[in-house]
A = this chain, B = another copy of it.
Amino acid sequence: MSSALQLPRETLLAAYTRMRTIREFEDRVHDEFSAGNIPGFVHLYAGEEASGVGVCMHLTDRDAIASTHRGHGHCIAKGCDVDGMMKEIFGRKDGLCGGKGGSMHIADLSKGMLGANGIVGAGGPLACGAALTSKLLKTGGVSVCFYGDGASNQGAILESYNLAKIWNLPVLFVAEDNGYAESTASSWSVGGSQTGRATGFGLPSREVDGFDFFAVYETAGEMIDRARAGGGPSLMHVRLGRHYGHFEGDAMTYRAPDEIANLRQNHDPLKIFKQRVVEASLISPEEFDAVDKKVVDDIAMTMVNAKAAPMPTEADLLTDVYLRY
């Protein structure tokens, strides 16, 4: 693929490192959850890395993203502090949200990360709002709304298409279609098509292969550029797959027996990325190995830090409800 050759080496390495960081983060969180060390609802992004990273490589801190319950990948892709994220997932006092949010509410507004969100579809209006701020304050910022195939049926998302359109807001809607909303297949639950709906609301749209970082990167780039130039919102339908269950603890009996093995073997965005780039002789396998090793070590340290970090205390319980009351 030609685009692979056009990206600078550092960009390729940065993209891979982010994807690899997400994967390692999620795999380790999976282990810790399975071992009973993480409480609550945890939804992993492993397998979907090319989407979050392919999009966020085009963004800086002035740009905003709205994320979902499956937010770890978006957070890492948008530059959230990984140590702070892990501590948050463990409910620690110096987690990114002081331990008050947990996996489903990781946010860092200073990075333009508007928050993971426990309410499916809620990010649509928020992304429109951030885009309105960019537009009215002329910051040049663009907003991205990540949401799932399930979310694509929510009123909040559907209304947002129209609001972004008629207010001509700089928004990119990224429908991350991993085939399921919990256990319900998107092939059943989504009437019509994501791109057809976009057309219905007057939004340009494209469907892309979400296992292919370069496909995501290219299309997102075009759409983000258009938005930044005042050309309004568009929609990208990304087809991808998750490596784990809907949430940790999901037995996944609704999936085909070979589905995950096939995903991991033939549709792993990291493998595909590496293979492409190695074939184009842009980065050597050894360099990739070095990244892999560094990421593994870093996340191991992150995990150690998170587990050692102190819990919040009663003094923290009632702070942060208001600025002043």
Contact = CB atoms under 8 A, between A and B. Distances in A.
Interface of A: 153-156, 158-159, 161-162, 165-166, 188-193, 196-203
Kindly report how many copies of this chain are found in the complex they form together.
2
Contacts of A192: 162, 165, 199-203
B153 A156 contact: no
Contacts of A203: 191-192
Nearest to A188: B166
B189 A166 contact: yes
B153 A162 contact: yes
A162 B189 CA distance: 8
Interface residues of chain A: helix, strand, loop or mixed (majority): helix
Contact of A162 (B166, B190, B198, B202): B190
A201 B200 CA distance: 9
A159 B155 contact: yes
Given A196-B199, A200-B197, A201-B197, A159 B153 contact: yes
Contacts of A156: 155
A200 B190 contact: no
Nearest to A166: B191
A200 B199 contact: yes
A191 B197 contact: no
Contacts of A166: 188-191
12 contacts: A153-B159, A161-B191, A162-B190, A162-B191, A165-B192, A166-B189, A166-B191, A192-B200, A192-B202, A193-B200, A193-B202, A197-B201
